[in-house]
Structure 1
Amino acid sequence: MRNRLVLLLATVSGVAVGNVYFPQSITPAIAAGLHVSPGDAALVITAAQAGYTAGLFLLVPLGDRVPVRRLLPTLLVVTGLALLGAACSPSLPVLAALSLMIGTSTVVAPIIGPFVAGLVPASRRGVTNGLLLSGGTGGMLLARTLSGYLASWWSWRVPYALAGVLVLALAVVVARALPDSVPATRSPYPRLLLSPLRLFREERDLRRSCLYQATIFGGFSAVWACVALLLTGPAYGYDARAVALLALVNAGTMIVTPMAGRLVDVVGPDRVTVVCAGAVIVSAVLLALASSGSLVMLVLGTLLLDVAMQSGMTANVVRIYALSSGARSRLNTAYMTCAYLGGAAGSWIGLRSYAAFGWLGVCALVGALAVVPVVSVLVPSRATLALR
C-alpha cells in the first residue's frame, strides 16, 4: 500500500473526526448568533455525539458488506451537504437535526481502519494504524482550535461552510484514489447489525480490548471534561481559550502514536497495553501535582495521558484486527462502541468526582481506571480469565 494513500486516508480520518469536535469550541458563538442560551446551544454538541454513536452501530458494519470505494465517498458527500446545510441553518432545531446527520455520516474513520488493515501485511498494521490515529488526533485538535478563532473573527457559520467544502473535495479525491475491493460478506443488513454482539460474545481478545480501551478512554474523558473547570477556577484563573491552547500543545501525540505502532509490531499488543496503562497512572500523579496551579505539571500530565490513550488504542486495534480478516469492520463496531460508552461514563463520573472531591478526585479516578488493564494482563484472576 502506497504511503500517499495512507496519508490521504489519515487526512480524511482527521477531517471526519474534526466534524464531531469542532462544535465544542463555537457553542457560545452559536448561542449569540441564533439568540438562544449557551445551555440550549450545547444541544448541537449532544446531537453530533449521539449521531456518531448511532453511526458506529448502524453504518460501520457496512464496511464488510459494501465496497469501500463506494461507501466512503457516499458518506463524505452526505456529510459535506449536511455541513453546508448547517452553515445556513435559520434556527437551533434545524442546526441540531443537521448535527445529528453530520455525526451519523462522518463515521468514516472506523471504516478506514479495518479497510487499511486488509491492505497491509500483519507486520505493518501497528505503524499504519498509528498513522491513521495520528490523523484523527490532528483533526480533533486543529478543529477545536481553528473553529474557535474562525467563529470569533467572522461567524459560527464559517467553520461549517469550510468543513463542508473540504469534505466534498475529499469525497472526489477518495473516489479516484481508492482501489477496488471485494466485500468480505454478503450477509443481510439485519444480520450485520447483530454480528458485533455475536463477535463480542465469542472473541475473548475482543472483550479484552474493549475493557482496556473503555477504562483508559474513560479516564481520558474524565480529565478533558473537567480541565476547563480547573483552568478557569481559582487555581489558574484563565479564560476558556486556555483549554483550546492546552489541547493544541498535546499535538505531540501525533508524532508518538506511529512510533507506538512500530513497537506493537515488534513486541506485541499486551506489552504495549501494560506500558500505556502504567503511563496513565504516572500521568494521574502529574495531574494531581497540577492541582495547586502548576501549568508545567498540567501540560506534562495531559500530554502523557493523550499519548498513552492513543498508543493503547493502537495496540488494541491491532489485537482485534488479527481475529478475523472478514469481519474487521464489525469487530471495530463492537470495540469502538465499548470505547465510547467508557468515555461517556468517564465524563459523567469525572464531573461528579470534581464536584465532590475537586481535581484530586478526578486524578484518583484516572489512576484507579488505569489499574484495571494492568491487573488484567499481569495478574490473571478468574474474572480476567473469562475476558482472556
Structure 2
Amino acid sequence: MTLTQPRPRADASRGVLLLLALTCGVAVGNVYFPQAISPSVAAGLDVSADTAALVVTAAQFGYAAGIFLLVPLGDRVPHRRLAVTLLALTGLGLLAAGAAPGVTPLVAASAFVGAVTVVAPVLGPLAAGLAPPDRRGTVSGILLGGSIGGMLLSRTLGGFAGEAFGWRAPYVGAAALTLVSAAVLARVLPRTEPASRERYPALLAAPLRLLRTEPGLRRSCFFQAAIFGGFSAAWTGVALLLTGPAYGLTTRAVGLLALVNAATMFCTPLAGRLADRRGPDAVNRVSMLAVLASAPVLALGGLGGTAGLAALVAGFLVLDVAMQSGMVANQVRVYALSDSERSRLNTAYMTCAYLGGSLGSWLGAHAFARFGWGGVCGLVAVLAVLALGKAARSPAGSQKRVGSQGA
C-alpha cells in the first residue's frame, strides 16, 4: 500500500532546499574529513599509515551499510523524525571517536558514524519530491553542491584543526556542527507523510528486487561505483603522497588541496540542467572521459615540487567535477524510475556507489604501498575504462521511465 506524499508549498520549498543542501554538507563531511587527518592519526596513535587508513575505509563501509539498512526507512518514517534521529546519533558517534583510546575503538566508532550519517541520501528523495520532473536534475545538483561543499570544507578544516590541535579536534568540531544541525532541522523541516506502509523487511528487500528488475538502476550503480572508487582511491593516496618524502608537507596541505576544488559546487547544478535537457547518458559519458583524462595529469604530481603540485591541483579539479557530475546524471536516471519507491531506489544506488568508494579507498592505500602514486593513478584510469566499456555496451535512452505512475 502506498500513499501520495504531499508537496510542501512552493514558497517554502526554496528555503527548505537551501537548508537541506547545508545539512547534506554537514552530514557528508563526517565521512570525508578523516581522509585529511589519516597521517595525524597514524602519528598520534603510533600505527602505520596503512592501519590509520582503516579509519577512512571503515567510515565508508559504514556509510554503505547505513544506506542499505537505514535509507529505505525514508519511505516508511516521516523525513523530519528520521533525519533528526540520525543526526543526533552521528553527533554522539563523533564524540566517541574523538575520545577513542586506540585505533581499534576509533575504527569501530568511524564505522558507526558512517552508518548513521546517511542524512544526505535520506533528504535527496525528499528534495526530488519538491520539484517537478523536469527540474529534478537541477534540484539534485543543488543538494549535491551542498554535499560537495561539506566534502571539501571538511577536508580543509579537518586538516587545519588536526595539525593545530591534534587528530581528536576535528571529531569534536564535527560533532558540534552535527548536533546543531539536528536541532535546526527539528524546528524547520516540514512534516511529510510516509510514502509506504510496508514493513521493514520488505523495505530492505526492495532495493535488491529493484536491482534485479531495473536495468537503468543497475547501470547507474555500476557507473558510480567505478568512478567513485577511483575518486576515493586518489584522495586516500594523495594524503600519503603529500605527507611522504616527495613533498614532506603536513595534513594542512591535504586540506588546502581539497579547497581548490570548491569550483565543483558550482558545476553540479550545471550538470543537473544538462541532464534535464540532454539526458543522463550524455553527461555520464563526458564525466567518464574526464575521469580518464585526469589520471595522467594526476600522475605528474609524483614529480614533486611546484610543477607536481600544479598537476595535482589540475587533476583533482577535473576528477572532482567529473565524478560529481556523473553522480547528478545517475540520480536523475534513478529518480525517474518510480515516485513511490524513490528512497528504496536511492538505497540501491548509493549502497553500490559507496561500496565502490570504500573498496577504492582500500585499493588506493594498497596500491600506494606497493606501486607508489603512479599505481594509484593507474587504478583511477582502469576504473574509468571499465565504466566507459559498460556505457558503450548500454544503448542510450534505454532506461525505463515510470515517473508518477509509481512501481
User: Where does residue 150 of structure 2 map in the other structure?
Assistant: 139
Query: In 1, are the aligned partners of 2:65 and 2:351 still within 8 Å (CA)?
Result: no
| Secondary structure, counterpart of 2:130 in structure 1 | coil
Counterparts in 2 of 1:151 and 1:299: CA distance versus 1, 3 Å? closer
User: Where does residue 214 of structure 1 map in the other structure?
Assistant: 225
Q: Distance in 2 between matches of 1:44 and 1:109?
A: 21
Bigger Cα displacement from structure 2, 269-278 vs 160-169: 160-169
Counterparts in 2 of 1:317 and 1:29: CA distance versus 1, 3 Å? same
Bigger Cα displacement from structure 2, 133-142 vs 36-45: 36-45
- Structure 2 residue aligned with 1:171, among 174, 182, 193? 182
Counterparts in 2 of 1:186 and 1:380: CA distance versus 1, 3 Å? closer
User: Where does residue 5 of structure 2 map in the other structure?
Assistant: none
User: Where does residue 318 of structure 1 map in the other structure?
Assistant: 332
Q: CA deviation at 1:281?
A: 2.0
Deviations along 1:144-196, one digit per CA (max 9) or x if unpaired, are 22123223333544333332232222212212222222211111111111111
- Structure 2 residue aligned with 1:346, among 354, 360, 374? 360
Q: How many residues matched?
A: 385
Deviations along 1:324-361, one digit per CA (max 9) or x if unpaired, are 11111111111111112222333344445445554444
TM-score, normalization: structure 2? 0.85
Q: Distance in 2 between matches of 1:296 and 1:64?
A: 45
Bigger Cα displacement from structure 2, 18-27 vs 227-236: 227-236
Query: Is 1:187 paired with 2:198?
Result: yes
Query: Is 1:298 paired with 2:312?
Result: yes
Q: CA deviation at 1:288?
A: 3.5
Structure 2 unpaired stretches of 5+? 1-9, 401-407
| Secondary structure, counterpart of 1:187 in structure 2 | coil
User: Where does residue 122 of structure 1 map in the other structure?
Assistant: 133
Q: CA deviation at 1:132?
A: 1.1
Deviations along 1:109-153, one digit per CA (max 9) or x if unpaired, are 111111111121111111111111111111122112212322333
Query: In 1, are the aligned partners of 2:160 and 2:252 still within 8 Å (CA)?
Result: no
Q: Distance in 2 between matches of 1:50 and 1:222?
A: 14
User: Where does residue 272 of structure 2 map in the other structure?
Assistant: 261
Query: In 1, are the aligned partners of 2:36 and 2:254 still within 8 Å (CA)?
Result: no
Query: Is 1:10 paired with 2:24?
Result: no
Query: In 2, are the aligned partners of 1:261 and 1:314 still within 8 Å (CA)?
Result: yes
User: Where does residue 47 of structure 2 map in the other structure?
Assistant: 37
Q: Distance in 1 between matches of 2:221 and 2:140?
A: 17
User: Where does residue 403 of structure 2 map in the other structure?
Assistant: none
Structure 1 unpaired stretches of 5+? none
Q: CA deviation at 1:210?
A: 0.8
Q: Distance in 1 between matches of 2:270 and 2:188?
A: 26
Counterparts in 2 of 1:89 and 1:301: CA distance versus 1, 3 Å? closer
TM-score, normalization: structure 1? 0.88
Q: CA deviation at 1:25?
A: 3.4
Residue correspondence of structure 1 range 51-130 to structure 2 within 5 A: 51-89=62-100, 94-130=105-141
The residue type paired with residue 309 of structure 1 is: M
Q: Distance in 2 between matches of 1:348 and 1:91?
A: 20
Q: Distance in 2 between matches of 1:265 and 1:305?
A: 22
The residue type paired with residue 126 of structure 2 is: F
- Structure 2 residue aligned with 1:331, among 345, 360, 371? 345
Q: Distance in 2 between matches of 1:166 and 1:120?
A: 28
Q: CA deviation at 1:379?
A: 4.9
Query: In 2, are the aligned partners of 1:273 and 1:373 still within 8 Å (CA)?
Result: no
Query: Is 1:23 paired with 2:37?
Result: no
User: Where does residue 309 of structure 1 map in the other structure?
Assistant: 323
Query: In 1, are the aligned partners of 2:40 and 2:166 still within 8 Å (CA)?
Result: yes
User: Where does residue 3 of structure 2 map in the other structure?
Assistant: none
The residue type paired with residue 280 of structure 2 is: P
User: Where does residue 404 of structure 2 map in the other structure?
Assistant: none
Bigger Cα displacement from structure 2, 41-50 vs 365-374: 41-50
User: Where does residue 366 of structure 1 map in the other structure?
Assistant: 380
| Secondary structure, counterpart of 1:338 in structure 2 | helix
Q: Distance in 1 between matches of 2:52 and 2:367?
A: 25
Residue correspondence of structure 1 range 219-234 to structure 2 within 5 A: 219-232=230-243
Q: CA deviation at 1:23?
A: 3.1
Query: In 2, are the aligned partners of 1:48 and 1:99 still within 8 Å (CA)?
Result: yes
CA RMSD of aligned residues (A): 2.9
User: Where does residue 158 of structure 1 map in the other structure?
Assistant: 169
Q: Distance in 2 between matches of 1:119 and 1:228?
A: 39
The residue type paired with residue 301 of structure 1 is: G
Query: In 2, are the aligned partners of 1:27 and 1:38 still within 8 Å (CA)?
Result: no
- Structure 2 residue aligned with 1:286, among 283, 297, 300? 297
The residue type paired with residue 188 of structure 1 is: R
Bigger Cα displacement from structure 2, 104-113 vs 158-167: 158-167
Counterparts in 2 of 1:101 and 1:223: CA distance versus 1, 3 Å? closer
Query: Is 1:251 paired with 2:265?
Result: no
The residue type paired with residue 57 of structure 1 is: F
The residue type paired with residue 319 of structure 1 is: R
Q: Distance in 2 between matches of 1:351 and 1:154?
A: 25
Query: Is 1:275 paired with 2:286?
Result: yes
Query: In 1, are the aligned partners of 2:57 and 2:361 still within 8 Å (CA)?
Result: no
| Secondary structure, counterpart of 1:22 in structure 2 | helix
Counterparts in 2 of 1:324 and 1:238: CA distance versus 1, 3 Å? same
Q: CA deviation at 1:312?
A: 0.2
Q: CA deviation at 1:375?
A: 3.7
Q: CA deviation at 1:22?
A: 2.3
